[in-house]
Every structure is written in C-alpha cells, then in structure tokens.
Amino acid sequence: MATMATAWELMRGRVGELEALDEVAQLLEWDQQTMMPGGGAPHRGKHLATITGLQHSRIADPAVGEWLNTLAETADPVQQAAVRNLRRRHERAVQVPVDLVQRLAEASNTGFGAWLDAKGNDDFARFQPALQTLVELRREEISHLGEAEHPYDHLLDVYDPGSTTAQLRPMFSRLSDALSAFIQEVADKAGPAELTERFDVVGQSRLSQRILKDLGFRTSDGRLDVAAHPFTVSLGAGDVRLTTRYREEELLSGLGSTIHEAGHGMYEQGLPQRWAGTGLAQAAGMGMHESQSRFWENVIGRSLPFFRWLTPIMQEIWPSKSITAEGLYGAANRVQPSLIRVEADEATYNLHIVVRFELELALMNGDLEAADLPEAWDAATDRILGVRAPGPAQGVLQDVHWSAGLFGYFPSYTIGNLYAASFRYKMESDLPEMWTDVQNGRFEDVLGWLRTNVHDRGHVRDAPELFKEAVGDRDPVADLMAHLRSRHGALYGVS
C-alpha cells in the first residue's frame, strides 16, 4: 500500500491528465461551434467520444480508488477537498455500468435529432419516444448510484455538488410566490420603452471588445468570437474563450451576451493556479458559475451607473444616434411574462426555471412520463407564468437540454441569480464606492471582491458553503426580490 505522500503524487498526476483531457474536449467543442467546416461534423463526434471514453477509463481505474482510500484520513484540508471532488467522479464512473453510459450517449444523439425534427414541425409526438428513453435511462442511472434523500440529488450532484432537492425546493417555492406577486403588481403599469433603433454589427463588435477590456477580462489570456448560441470554454486560466452574437435590431441582447460570457470568463481566469492539477483550480459548480455571469450581466450590466459609463462610449461609435443612459436602462429592465426562457426578462426568467424544476422532479420521481409532459407543461406555465404556448415548439420543445439527456441543469440558472443578488448587497456594504466606481468605468474593486471571495477559492468548498462564507447569513430570496424591486419595481412605480 502506497504512503499518503505517494498516493497524493500519483493522484495529482492523474488529475492533471484529466484536467488536460477536459481542456482538450473544450477545445473540440469550441472549434465545432466557431471554426470547424461543415464537412468536419461527422468526425467530431468520434473525436469527442474518444476523449470521453479515455476520461472514463482513467477515472474508473481501480488505482484511483486505492489512492482515494489511502488519502481518506488526510488532515490537510486541500487534500481533503481534492479527494472529495475526485471521489465523486470515481464513484459515478465505477457505479454506472459502461454499457449504460454508451446507451445514454446514443440516446442523446438520437434525442437531439428527434428534438430538432419535432421542434421544426411543432409536433411533440416526434420527440416523445426518444424523450421517454432518455428519462428511463436517467432513472436507471440514478438506481445505480445508491441511496439519496431524493433521486434528483444524484443529478444536482453533477452540476451543483452540495445542492440538494430538500434545500432547493422550499427556496424555489418562496421565490416563485414572491415573483408571481411582484409580476402581478407591475402587470398593468406602463413601464419603460423598448429600444427600437438598429446598431450596426461592426460597431457592436467594437463595443464588446472595449467592454471586455474595461471589465477586467484579460484579452491576452483569451479571445472573443461569434457563435449562434454564445458560450464560454476554458483551456486553463491563460486561454479562456468567449463567444457572443450580434444582431442589428438587438443591441441589448448582444451586449448582455458579451457581458454574461465575460463573467464566466473572468471566473475561469481567476481560478487559483497554485492548485492546478489537484481538481481545486476549478469552479465550484455551475450554479456558482452562473452567479458570476449573471452578476456581471444583470447586477452590473443592467444598472443605471453602468449605462451612464457606457453612453459616451456608444456615442463615439454611433455619433448620429441619440443615446441616453436612462433610455438604455429602461429598455434593459422591462418586465413582460413571455413564452421563451432565453428571451425572458430578469424578473420572469426564474419562473421559467421553476416550471422546469417541478417537471424534472416529477419525471425523475416517476410521477410523470414523457407522454404526459406537454399537458403538464402547459398547466405549469399557465399557473406559474400566466402564459400558454400556441404549440409545443414555443412551449415544451423550446430548450435543447432534455434532448441531450440533461436533467438537473436548469436549477443552476436560478441558483446563479440568487447568489448574484446576495453578492450585490454584500458588496455594496463592503465597497461603499461601488456604484460610483461603475459609473466611472472602474471595475477593479468589484472584480477584486469576486476574486477574493469566489474565484480564488476554487473548488475547495462546495458552492452552498462558499456562498455562506462570502455573504454570511443573507437570505438570497429576499436579496433577489429586493434587487428586482430596486430596478424594475422603481421603473414601474411599484417599489
């Protein structure tokens, strides 16, 4: 049996290799969506499957289990955290049979094609069999993963380790009630005007590059490209790649994408490199990742001080347009219940997530089957959001996630919004000059606060603990509601 020191060295070697493979997979995905010629598509699946297969066998390797056992009693908190993180991956890899992993991968492939077809034809029936298979395979996977308070916890564990169904359910329920009441209040008020002007794409691109630089994204350690569906990948803190999109008639949407992805990117650039190769120089889950993108996109990027800073920069790019900070601020903070999650405003957005969270819980519990999903969807959106889609394409088929077997990811978005709101209020008390700084385009202290309290902590603590250490006993639901009332409420005269 190896000594603890030897096991730690061997484990670090393996974790370093796994990190490298993960970064290679991220490059393959970035390339697929930005650079790859059309003819490369058939082979790209093979590239990704080869890397994923090697990752699986390197994680499931019995030697990993031995190192973890040797290190089980370590007193070093960094080693403890590294062991916890790797053990999660190792146990899942060992407990889930390889043929189930393969069937899931195939079903995701089939599911994606069926979903595209069903959505294109506004016909849920074309997706139903593939979805039912995916639901059953996920339930089967969960059955291999041992006891848990709630089967859904095993899915949360992948994206948001540390979060539990028991903790999320009451939080989401309180949030849902408070949001519904708030949206009722603003429903028949006259709100701010939309932005109807068009802004050329070249100018938007210049604006995005300028904002990135000023926010604090290190452009020598990353790049910004255009993609149909914006995303961020990291090949290490020195190579973080953002994507965004520009449409002439949707300035605010493109701007929001850039700032959102910059938030993800600055988190990746700020991860603690002293722990590279331990699995701790990683984000503390997707909810915390979303808190960073949402914090910059919403808390900072939709604030009046931010638009006051931005207006003269925009006037320089588009001298012939009449642009005002107040006009942009109003347009960026309208409230309007709508059908499509990704187009939703900051307030109603979370109700879209509540709908999906409820339905996913029922699907994984066995209380709901794919065949009954469209009806359940319509009932839930009607009850929670007060809207009803004219057909499945704009309803139950709108998101790609389930077609790829991704259940348990949606909560991350609202967890991110909740964390971001509490970060706002804690930061306002820690940094009294915060909004003056933003208005002056000085983002160092804001970024510095996130660096110290989030980024530089890596994944030593799981997100719920890390959040508590950062903000203390704050109630994120109350903070998110206060945040929304201070913005949208004030604009609609109901705060």
For the question of residue 358 being annotated catalytic, the response is no
- The candidate with the shortest Cα–Cα distance to 209, out of 227, 222, 228, is 222
Toward its own copies, which CB reaches closer, 21 or 478? 21
Query: Active site residue: 141, 261, 346, 360, which one?
Result: 261
Contact between 146 and its own copies per CB under 8 A? no
# residues near its own copies by CB under 8 A: 37
How many other CB atoms sit within 10 Å of the CB of residue 176? 22
Instruction: Pull the structure tokens for residue 335.
Output: 């409230």
The minimum distance between CB 19 and its own copies, in angstroms, equals 8
Residues 47-66 that bind its own copies (CB under 8 A): 47, 49-51, 53-54
Instruction: Give the x/- contact pattern for its own copies in 233-262, rule: CB under 8 A.
Output: --xxxxx-----------------------
* In the complex, minimum distance from the CB of residue 212 to its own copies, in angstroms, rounded to a whole number: 12
Q: At 422, list the tokens.
A: 């509490």
Does 40 help bind its own copies (rule: CB under 8 A)?
yes
Q: Which of 2, 17, 100, 226 forms a contact with its own copies (CB under 8 A)?
A: 17
- Range in contact with its own copies (rule: CB under 8 A) among 22-30, 134-142, 396-404, 424-432: 22-30
- Closest approach of its own copies to the CB of residue 115, in Å: 24
Stretch that binds its own copies, among 19-27, 90-98, 166-174, 319-327 (CB under 8 A): 19-27
What six digits make up the tokens of 443?
Answer: 């983002």
By the 8 A CB rule, do 7 and 71 touch? yes
Choose which of 6, 9, 41, 72 interacts with its own copies (CB under 8 A).
Answer: 41
Site residues for its own copies, 360-389, by CB under 8 A, read none
Q: Which of 5, 20, 125, 193 binds its own copies (CB under 8 A)?
A: 20
Pair type for strands 232-234 and 222-226: unpaired
Alpha helices in 224-343 (DSSP H): 251-269, 286-294, 304-317, 325-332
Q: SS3 helix, strand, coil % of the chain, rounded to 5?
A: 70, 5, 30
Among 29, 31, 185, 250, the residue binding its own copies under the rule CB under 8 A is 31
Give 281's Cβ-side CA count (13 Å radius).
Answer: 23
Under the criterion CB under 8 A, does residue 12 sit at the interface with its own copies?
no
The secondary structure element, H or E, covering residue 68 is helix 62-70
Name which of residues 212 to 231 contact its own copies (CB under 8 A): 218-223
Q: Minimum CB separation from its own copies for residue 218, in Å? A: 7
Region binding its own copies by CB under 8 A among candidate stretches 45-53, 118-126, 129-137, 253-261: 45-53
**Tokens read off for 283:** 């984000």
Contact 283, 271 (CB under 8 A): yes
Q: Among residues 287, 306, 300, which one has the least CA distance to residue 418?
A: 287
* Residues forming a β-bridge with 240: 222, 234
Contacting residue, 1, 3, 38, 322, with its own copies by CB under 8 A: 38
DSSP string, 17-49: HHHHHHHHHHHHHHHHHHT--GGGHHHHHHHHH
- For residue 149, the minimal CB distance to its own copies (Å) is 38
Amino acid identity at 115: W
Are the CB atoms for 435 and 329 separated by under 8 Å? no
- Which residues are tagged catalytic? 261
Point out which residues bind its own copies (CB under 8 A).
16-17, 20-21, 23-24, 27-28, 31, 35-44, 46-47, 49-51, 53-54, 218-223, 235-239
